Chain A
Amino acid sequence: MRKDGARLALPLFDPRHDPGPDFAALVSRDAARTVPTSGDGSLGAQVPHGTTIAALRFAGGVVIAGDRRATEGNFIANRTIEKVFPADRFSGVGIAGAAGPAVEMVRIFQVQLEHYEKVEGKALSLEGKANQLAQMIRQNLPLAMQGLVVMPLFAGWDAERSEGRIFTFDVAGGRYEEVAYYAIGSGGRDARATLKLGWRPGLDEAGAVHLAVQALYEAAQEDAATGGPDALRGIFPVVAVIDREGYRRIDDARLEEIAVELDQAVRERGARR
């Protein structure tokens, strides 16, 4: 790590060594890594983990949602953690996996996108943003080998195509585009089952928000690491809509309404066990 004095000097480079608009490359010159780089692979059980993130497309954009629970083994580490963030005005990222490195990855990703936009005078394409994130995951591979897996779900509004798009990734930095919906994390399988049953083309925004909350709700019923809506403490998932107007978080009041509705449905089914 460079000394503070060096960090605060004007970062001028000769043309052959110029990092261009790449903020991550600029930071890596500092090699400011806050997480230890050696260990026995058991680190994973000792750090808080974030779980289910769901995303789905609708007619006018895309919805991305995440529950609020972080766990350390069988303990609840945090009830109000946020795992869905705006990456920039027109995209959002949700994270599952080791919370520390994941939040840090989001932070550098946010700066990266803004940095590019300022240096180049023009924002990256949505495809370009997804590729940037894939590169960051690839760079995290050594940490993933030690149990600090970071798994993002990326969704955004593609201005060129005028549609919402969803991207998923694997630990090695592989990047895949999803056609309709996806969910990641320990409750991802259950969330996907709900999304699969409820998703249809031409879904509107309200329907998409409802389905996203329902997917998390069902995941929380099956997966201990996923937190459901907590009316007692007033904790609801983070749900965001990204459309041609940009990233917008849905109010807790609306989410509470949906949660009450879902509770009511369970009651009516009589399947209380």
Chain B
Amino acid sequence: MSMPFYVAPEQLMKDRADYARKGIARGRALIGAVWEGGIIIVAENPSRSLHKLSEIYDRIAFGGVGKYNEFDQLRVAGIRHADLKGYAYAREDVDARSLANLYAQYLGTVFTHEMKPLEVEILVAELGNGHRESQLFQILYDGTVMDEREFAVLGGDADAIAERFRALYDASGPRERLLQSARDALSGQRPPIGADDLEVVVLEDRGERRCFRRLEVDEVREALGDQPEGSA
């Protein structure tokens, strides 16, 4: 019988973390930001149909970066959890904090017990109301949870993007300005990212139960002040 090589736990965890980080760094980033009118989430995403951002519940949205099939599985699980909980109890009993904790537990368990950690970072955003403040929960591949009141940046090159965005961030300005700032922060030194390559969703109170809305390409283009494609 052959004995397996001994690997120190520190080394094992470090290897896994490096692996996950590398996978996530290959993906394009997203920014979630709170402003007076609600929450906006902007992701660089050239695909029109494979979404990174999604509705979870009445006032809760989801964002994922990294490996698509992995965060999409988490997205669906989140919708299931929220809908089951709201159905079993009441709609107001569904909150982002408990969902973020579940994601964290799952990611933490996979990180320590499975061969391969998940190469994802996810964002759970909840629009505040009279009783709750707007909150952004960022959950890392190893189950680390961070909550933010202002903005969160996930994905490749997150630190540099966050630094750029911090300089532009204005919670009291109009939504268009925030969208422009997010685009500029995501673009960095590159030429500005076009409306076609951005996925933008908002959580806003519109007097309806469901606060999630996906902005159409035309709306994004208009907000950014871009010319429609082909007209230039």
Which positions in A face B, CB cutoff 8 Å? 7-12, 23, 26-27, 30, 32, 107-108, 111, 114-115, 118-119, 121
Within 8 A of A (CB), among B28-87: 49, 51, 54-56, 73, 76-81, 83-87
Q: Is the CB of B56 within 8 A of A108?
A: no
**Cα distance A96–B77 in the bound complex, in angstroms:** 34
Q: Is the CB of B77 within 8 A of A10?
A: yes
Name the A residues within 8 Å of B84 (CB-CB). Answer: 7, 11, 26-27, 30
List the 6 closest A-B pairs by CB distance, nearest first: A11-B80, A10-B102, A118-B79, A12-B77, A115-B83, A10-B77
CB contact under 8 A between A115 and B106, given known A27-B87, A121-B51, A121-B54:
no
CB contact under 8 A between A108 and B87, given known A10-B106, A118-B54:
yes
Contact with A along B89-102 (1 / 0, CB 8 A): 00000000010001
CB contact under 8 A between A119 and B88, given known A11-B81, A114-B83:
no
Which positions in B face A, CB cutoff 8 Å? 49, 51, 54-56, 73, 76-81, 83-88, 98, 102-103, 105-106
Name the B residues within 8 Å of A32 (CB-CB). Answer: 88
Q: Which of B51, B73, B79 contacts A115 (CB 8 A)?
A: B79
Q: Main SS of the interface on chain A?
A: helix
Q: Is the CB of A10 within 8 A of B81?
A: yes
Q: Is the CB of A23 within 8 A of B83?
A: yes
Minimal beta-carbon separation of A132 from chain B (angstroms): 15
> Could you show 30 A-B contacts with beta carbons less than 8 Å apart?
A7-B84, A7-B85, A8-B81, A8-B85, A8-B102, A9-B102, A10-B78, A10-B106, A11-B77, A11-B84, A23-B80, A23-B87, A26-B80, A26-B84, A27-B84, A30-B84, A30-B88, A107-B87, A111-B83, A111-B86, A114-B83, A115-B79, A115-B83, A118-B56, A118-B79, A118-B83, A119-B76, A119-B79, A119-B80, A121-B51
Name the A residues within 8 Å of B81 (CB-CB). Answer: 8, 10-11
Minimal beta-carbon separation of A30 from chain B (angstroms): 8
**Cα distance A121–B105 in the bound complex, in angstroms:** 26
Q: Is the CB of B106 within 8 A of A12?
A: yes
Name the A residues within 8 Å of B78 (CB-CB). Answer: 10
**Cα distance A121–B98 in the bound complex, in angstroms:** 23
Name the A residues within 8 Å of B80 (CB-CB). Answer: 11, 23, 26, 115, 119
Name the A residues within 8 Å of B86 (CB-CB). Answer: 111
Q: Is the CB of B105 within 8 A of A10?
A: yes
**Cα distance A10–B78 in the bound complex, in angstroms:** 7
Minimal beta-carbon separation of B139 from chain A (angstroms): 12
Q: Is the CB of B77 within 8 A of A111?
A: no
**Cα distance A8–B81 in the bound complex, in angstroms:** 7
**Cα distance A12–B77 in the bound complex, in angstroms:** 6
